[in-house]
Amino acid sequence: MDKTVPVIGISLGDMNGIGPEVIIKTFGDSRLLKLLTPVVYGSGKIISYYRKILQADSFRYNQIKEVSQAKQKILNVVNCWEESVTIKPGSATEEAGVYALQSLEMATADLIAQKLDGLVTAPINKNTIQQEAFDFPGHTEYLVQRTGAKRGLMLMVSDNLRIGVVTGHIPLHRVIENITREQVTDKLEILEETLKQDFGIEKPKIAVLGVNPHAGDEGLLGSEEQDLVGPLIKELKDSGKLVFGPFPADGFFGSQTYLKYDAVLAMYHDQGLIPFKSLSFGSGVNYTAGLPVIRTSPDHGTAYPIAGKGVADESSFRAALFACLDLIKHRQQVVDHL
């Protein structure tokens, strides 16, 4: 095999969601196969099932038992199990969760063992995948634990917008208690590091959003900006960091101020992801920053209402693949420079 062509692992995700469909549609464009060697962790039977639904008779794939058998210029499918499974497009089933985890675990093991250059994860159902081996609110937390990373950051990425979040998949009533000086400092450090290492930005300029409406309105609507976020930003700026804020989230996006910055740090999930998906849905990518490995995913979920109907848009999945390739390239350039 040509070692200059990255080997990208792809976890199948929930077999009843749109993951298999967007994978098939993406690699229906054979030009992609010149840029990477794709390895799907799942089952050839599932790929065949959705190929039939899509009437993609000319779509070809290579079934293998392990990644070392992968061939170039074709989609490879590692058969992670031999038994038959019941595919129910659009349905949340316990069985789908079991096999989604099996796919993810095998792909992650190969990623950690450096048999893969990067991993793209198709959407899972966060409820059905919950098992003894997966007691996490999502991919991000699972991968931080599996890779032995001390910390991680959910970073949403598109052509002109990068948004990280201080608190991720936790209930809203727990957000405030998790916004601490240590947490905000930690996420800013990861964000700055990934902008340098993974995006090639030598001196990143970062905007930080406030916690409260109107960034607290000088204490009238909350004190977190005056007591925590503002003083921390001042300290970082005094030390030479290009960190600015805290900004009121609504006006920040409404006035397109985000275009002036290399990245934005939001305080909680919806504060960052609602504007991101409003501005970038279909072209956005979820990247887990702070890991020793590279993992991206599309910015959508299982999309059960349209699963199995042949109408899913593969744009975000394709964007996740290209982002994975770019990140691999940037990291290698950093290593070469050292």
Find the mean pLDDT for residues 231-254.
Answer: 95
Instruction: Indicate if the pLDDT at residue 244 is higher than 90.
Output: yes
Q: Any idea where the domains of the chain sit in the sequence?
A: 1-149+291-338, 152-287
Using pLDDT thresholds of 50, 70 and 90, give the confidence band for residue 28: very high
Using pLDDT thresholds of 50, 70 and 90, give the confidence band for residue 35: very high
Which CATH homologous superfamily contains domain 152-287?
Isopropylmalate Dehydrogenase (3.40.718.10)
Distance CA 314, CA 24 (A): 9
pLDDT at residue 218, rounded to an integer: 84
pLDDT at residue 190, rounded to an integer: 97
Residues contacting 120, CB < 8 A, separation 6+: 8, 9, 10, 11, 295, 296, 297, 317, 320, 321, 324
Residue 57 and residue 19 in contact, taking contact as beta carbons nearer than 8 Å: no
Give me the percent of the chain exceeding a pLDDT of 90: 87
- At 263-295, the pLDDT tens digits run 999 999 999 999 999 999 878 999 999 999 999
Q: What is the 3-state secondary structure (H, E, C) of 211-270?
A: CCHHHHCCCCCCCHHHHHHHHHHHHHHHCCCEEEEEECHHHHHHCCHHHHCCEEEECCHH
CATH number for domain 1-149+291-338, candidates 2.60.40.2470, 3.40.718.10, 3.90.650.10, 3.30.465.10:
3.40.718.10
- Are domains 1-149+291-338 and 152-287 of this chain identical in fold? yes
126 burial class (0-12, 13-18, 19+ CB within 10 angstroms)? Answer: middle
pLDDT at residue 219, rounded to an integer: 84
pLDDT at residue 4, rounded to an integer: 84
Using pLDDT thresholds of 50, 70 and 90, give the confidence band for residue 336: low
Distance CA 298, CA 279 (A): 15
Q: How far is CA 41 from CA 80, 118, 119, 279, in A?
A: 6, 13, 10, 31
- As given in the structure block, the two tokens for residue 235 are 């300290």
Tell if the pTM clears 0.75, that is, is over it: yes
pLDDT at residue 1, rounded to an integer: 64
pLDDT at residue 132, rounded to an integer: 85
- At 123-161, the pLDDT tens digits run 999 999 998 888 888 899 999 999 999 899 999 999 899
